[in-house]
Structure 1
Amino acid sequence: MLKVSRPTPSHFGIYVTDLDRMVAFYTEVFDLTITDTGVGKTFKNKLVFTSASPDQHHQLVIASGRPADVKFSTVMQLSFAVPGIQSMRDIWAKAEARGATDIRGLNHGNALSVYMLDPEGNMVEIYVDTPFYVEQPHGDPLDLSKSDEEILRETEAICRRDPTFKTLADWQADFLSRAPAPGA
């Protein structure tokens, strides 16, 4: 059971046109496990529940019902944390092979990210956090052909030159000083 002390974002759902194609994309590219499928009794769309964690029944719900003539997705982005920089390289290759487009890397200072459009045009981000903080939005090019060590050295140098630089620990302490007390 997920433990939270205040409302916490935990899962999201998207409407799709081609359910089978999109389920294959998300399960194969992001290694998500299908936890349940079915048609809702009150919500008459077909739903596929997926998760990467045994602690959460679903983290992404893929639902039928997106009209085929809809060209613009209102999803700003779906973000996936990944274990490391090599995972970003591996997922980039799998996503491209499964129909993702407009794939590009960005270094946000506090995170290294790869953005792409899934086969139906939803923006997807894969990212790895760094131990640094700079004010957002921040985006420098990210070249994943460099070694992990080189990328992290460059990221630290970029961040330390920014006047808003903090360590992650300092940023977290600032966050906790501004956050409401549990149960407040």
Structure 2
Amino acid sequence: MVFMTPDPELDDHQIALAKGREGEAKIIGHIAWRVETPADVKAFYEQFKAQGVPIHHCISHAYEEMGNTVSCYFLDPEGNRLEVYALVPERDEARINRPLDLDKSVDEIIAQASGLVQAAAH
């Protein structure tokens, strides 16, 4: 796998290239859209739920270069996995991925993504 970015200070990658899948696998592996704030991610999440869009999972990714994310993965009508994400200002020095509960307030979501509190199990 190869990760490419025009600005490694801003993003660890904007394009990732990987070997194709065998057989009947979906063509698209993953597409992500970066939005301005965690509140924007929550708004997309709420809209997806209201419209019956399948939510795959919600997670905070921890990247050394750019910090932590609030990420919502969802499925398009063909079953491709897509993501909407935003960076959080606080960094979790443990740099581990954490599940998120996007039904919480934006402040609580940011605290989860920063490793200050854990998401409740659903």
TM-score by length of 1: 0.41
Q: How many angstroms apart in 1 are the aligned matches of 2:5 and 2:84?
A: 23
| Structure showing greater Rg | 1
Quick one: structure 1 residues 10 and 146, their matched pair in 2 at CA, closer, same or farther if it must change by over 3 Å? Answer: closer
1:87 equivalent in structure 2? 40
**Structure (1 or 2) with the greater helix fraction:** 1
Q: How many residues align?
A: 94
Please tell me whether residue 73 in structure 1 is matched to residue 31 in structure 2.
Answer: no
Partners of 1:71 and 1:155 lie apart in 2 by 35
Coordinate RMSD, CA, aligned: 3.1
Any gaps of 5 or more consecutive residues in structure 2?
A: 7-12, 16-22, 63-67, 117-122
Q: What is the CA distance between 1:141 and its match in structure 2?
A: 1.2
Does the 8 Å CA contact 1:107/1:155 hold for their aligned counterparts?
A: yes
Change (3 A) 1:99 1:74: farther
Aligned-partner SS, 1:106: strand
1:57-93 deviation digits (Å, cap 9, x = unpaired): xxxxxxxxxxxxx953132210001122222222123
Question: Residue 73 of structure 2 aligns to which amino acid in structure 1?
Answer: Y
SS of the equivalent of 1:72 reads: coil
Q: Which amino acid aligns with 1:108?
A: H
**Does the alignment pair 1:142 with 2:100?**
yes
Q: Residue 121 of structure 1 aligns with which residue?
A: 79
What amino acid sits opposite 2:58 in the alignment?
A: G
The reply on whether 1:112 has 2:77 as its aligned counterpart is no
Give the superposition deviation at 1:99: 5.6
Q: Which amino acid in the other structure matches residue 85 of structure 1?
A: P
Runs of 5+ in structure 1 lacking a partner? 1-5, 12-69, 160-184
- Give how far 1:116 is off: 0.9
| Larger RCO (CA within 8 A; separation ≥ 6) | 2
TM-score, structure 2 normalization: 0.57
8 A Cα contact 1:99 1:118, kept in partner = no
CA contact (8 A) 1:113 1:126 kept: yes
1:112 and 1:100 map into 2 onto residues whose CA distance is 18
